[in-house]
Amino acid sequence: MSYREEFYGDFKIVEYEPYKVKEPSFGIVALPDTGLVGVIGAGHMVKSLNLKEVGGIDSYSYLPPIAVISKKSIRLPIRIFANENIVSVYSEFMPSAPSLPILAKAILDYLERRGVNTLVMSSGLAVQNRFELEKLRTFYITNSSEIEKILEGVGALPFENGYLVGPYAVMIKEAFRYRMNVVLLLTEAFLEFPDPEASARNLEILSRLIGKEIDVKELIEQAEIIRIKARDAMKATMPNLSKMRKDYELSTPLNI
């Protein structure tokens, strides 16, 4: 049952119940990207901080024909969670590339009207020698000097040169247009595999930024299992990689 519905182009935003956020408020957007760093991290954050599912976003034109079933209830494919000062927009599904600017505008317009002060996004930064890295670095992009001081204080590094590709590139450009405080956290990660360790390291930085402690022990345990399995799989397949050209897709149900 919906409390309120609104439309932004072909996207429908539904709220299941009324809610309010207090200042300082953070909009945390998680979309599938390198290593699924943001998606895994946001799913873990939702459970750790006990965020409540308050709404969702759907589009028959741009999203796959999917209904999410969570705790015996039907939910929309892009889900909205919230507590007193966090609104998290979370999706395991990627809309079509042409729809990304429209989706970005819809999300930012919604968060702005909800009183969100700062947009926070997390992603992976693909590195070729990921197997050999013992300590993962996190880089940041932000337009706020205040946020920059916080991030430098916890060991994050500025992303000084390069370019972004994918959904977060669109989101960050739109956030700049909205003149909203924005930060993108990029942690070194696998390109080919979901990377819970990168998500954990990213969450450690994010938790300091939002001022809420998030226990990442479970993600670190998952990371060790995936690291062992991934290393064994790569050893087994390396001799044939040069002969193969195969597109594949990975997904990790997060049970939230």
Q: Per-residue pLDDT averaged across 131-149, rounded?
A: 92
Q: Per-residue pLDDT averaged across 215-230, rounded?
A: 76
Q: Exposed, middle or buried, 49 (CB in 10 Å: 0-12/13-18/19+)?
A: middle
Please determine, for residue 238, whether its predicted confidence score (pLDDT) is greater than 50.
Answer: no
Please determine, for residue 66, whether its predicted confidence score (pLDDT) is greater than 50.
Answer: yes
Arithmetic mean of pLDDT over the chain:
86
Of the listed ranges 27-31, 149-153, 204-208, 221-225, the least confidently predicted one is 221-225
Q: Per-residue pLDDT averaged across 71-86, rounded?
A: 92
CA dihedral 161, 199, 106, 177 (to 10 degrees): -20
Q: What dotted CATH number matches 4-239? A: 3.40.50.10900
**Cβ density class 167-200: b for 16+ within 10 Å, e for less:** bbbbbbebbeeeebbbbbbbbbbbeebbbbbbbb
Of the listed ranges 28-37, 39-48, 116-125, 216-225, the least confidently predicted one is 216-225
Assess contact for 211 and 23: CB atoms under 8 A: no
Select the more confidently predicted residue: 238 or 58: 58
Please determine, for residue 234, whether its predicted confidence score (pLDDT) is greater than 80.
Answer: no
Q: What is the pLDDT of residue 231?
A: 58
Of the listed ranges 6-10, 71-75, 124-128, the least confidently predicted one is 71-75
What are the two backbone dihedrals, phi and then psi, of residue 21, each rounded to the nearest 5 degrees? -120, 150
Residue spans of alpha helices (H) in the chain: 37-48, 100-113, 145-153, 167-177, 196-210, 217-241
Dihedral angle sign, alpha carbons of residues 26, 32, 34, 40? positive
Q: Rounded distance, CA 24 to CA 10, Å?
A: 31
Q: What is the pLDDT of residue 72?
A: 85
pLDDT in tens, 154-194: 989 999 998 888 889 999 998 888 888 999 999 999 887 88
Please determine, for residue 83, whether its predicted confidence score (pLDDT) is greater than 60.
Answer: yes
Residue 32 preceded by cis peptide, ω within 30: no
Q: What is the pLDDT of residue 132?
A: 86
Please determine, for residue 239, whether its predicted confidence score (pLDDT) is greater than 60.
Answer: no
Domain boundaries, the chain: 4-239
Please determine, for residue 9, whether its predicted confidence score (pLDDT) is greater than 90.
Answer: no
Q: What is the pLDDT of residue 241?
A: 42
Say what percent of the chain tops pLDDT 90.
54
